[in-house]
Amino acid sequence: MTVIVRDLRPDVRSDAEGFARVRQLALPFMLFTPESLVHDLTHTHPDARFRQLIAEEDGEVIGTAQVGLAHESAEPGQGFANVYVHPERTGRGAGALLLRMAEEHLSAVGATTSYAWVLDAPANRAFAERRGYTASRSAHFLRLDLAQGTLPPLRTPPPGVELRTGADFADDPHPFFALDAETMSDEPSDIDYEFSDYEAWLEETWRHPLFSHELTSVVLVDGRPAAFSAARTDGGARYGTVMTGTARVFRGRGLAKLAKNDSLHRARAAGCTEAFTGNDSGNGPMLAINKWFGYDICATEVRYVRELG
């Protein structure tokens, strides 16, 4: 049987469905839908030179890759190549073919470094290390049972503090963007990002088909956005927190907990039964907050890096 690698065709439903199916099997703690994958492919900034690759065997999608440039970085040449193979279709060469094509693409568009997330399993880590990748850091996936778990009770915000939702910013999302950009710049990362492109943020975040304006909670202090918890849903019972943060001047007041608790309660009331999030393994404060909510670590990924050339 021959494995071929090609680009995902955004106008072919079976391509997106196959890609989503493999990703859901390989990463059941992240949210993907065919619609979200097509949106990513067609709305990511052109400077990212973003591609989604699929490995196909006898018409079945058995592997996937997302590859591109970290174009928001002040340092040029930073690329990424994240490869995932159907757990029951490993050993067929799909991962090696996907990574080879991904690295060829990165080299062709000027990347000098390739970063890759790899699930923390011996076979996966050996695959990366045989190809010259070196581990740099790790991150955890966390899960919370919204159906059976017990959330902390909602509390009344103190004077001058109020809770809103992302939907309240529908007429002018710019204040939300400014808060998101500030907090993202402080996230642990091996690439320095400069989030300044408002129009790109609208396309890639605000208008993303998984983004839930109604379940995203925003804390205002004296009318100014101070903290938030951004939510995504897959249209069913699965909910994910993609970012929780507080503006620097307001940190240390428990506002991130206030926002996240409000969002989780909204999600449960909306019928969500599972909540997922992710944290860098060195981000002690956020891991402590998630432990307080009742999240458990369900998987770990390791960040690998290789110099190209």
Same domain, 165 and 260: yes
Same domain, 96 and 230: no
| Cβ neighbours, 10 Å, residue 115 | 21
Residue 211 lies in a domain: yes
Residue showing tokens 């494995």: 3
Give the domain-ending residue among 86, 111, 136. Answer: 111
Residue 47 lies in a domain: yes
Residue 254 lies in a domain: yes
How many domains does the chain fold into? 2
Residue showing tokens 């620097």: 248
| Cβ neighbours, 10 Å, residue 46 | 8
Residue 133 lies in a domain: no
- Is the predicted pLDDT of residue 10 greater than 90, yes or no? yes
Residue 30 lies in a domain: yes
Q: What is the pTM of this model?
A: 0.93
Instruction: Please give the residue range of the domain that contains residue 148.
Output: 144-299
Residue 86 lies in a domain: yes
- pLDDT tens-digit readout, 34-93: 999 999 999 999 999 999 999 999 999 999 999 999 998 888 999 999 999 999 999 999
Q: What kind and span of H or E run contains 251?
A: none
Residue 176 lies in a domain: yes
Q: What is the CATH number of the domain that holds 282?
A: 3.40.630.30
Residue 247 lies in a domain: yes
| Burial class of residue 182, CB neighbours in 10 A (0-12, 13-18, 19+) | middle
Q: What kind and span of H or E run contains 225?
A: strand 224-233
Rounded Cα–Cα distance for residues 12 and 6 (Å) = 13
Buried b (16+ CB within 10 A) or exposed e, 22-44: bbbebbbbbbbbbebbbbbbeeb
Give the domain-ending residue among 93, 111, 129. Answer: 111
Same domain, 8 and 58: yes
**What Å distances lie between residue 92 and 27, 95, 96, CA to CA?**
19, 8, 9
- pLDDT tens-digit readout, 194-207: 778 999 999 999 99
Same domain, 162 and 233: yes
Question: Are the beta carbons of 31 and 233 closer than 8 angstroms?
Answer: yes
> What average pLDDT does the chain have?
95
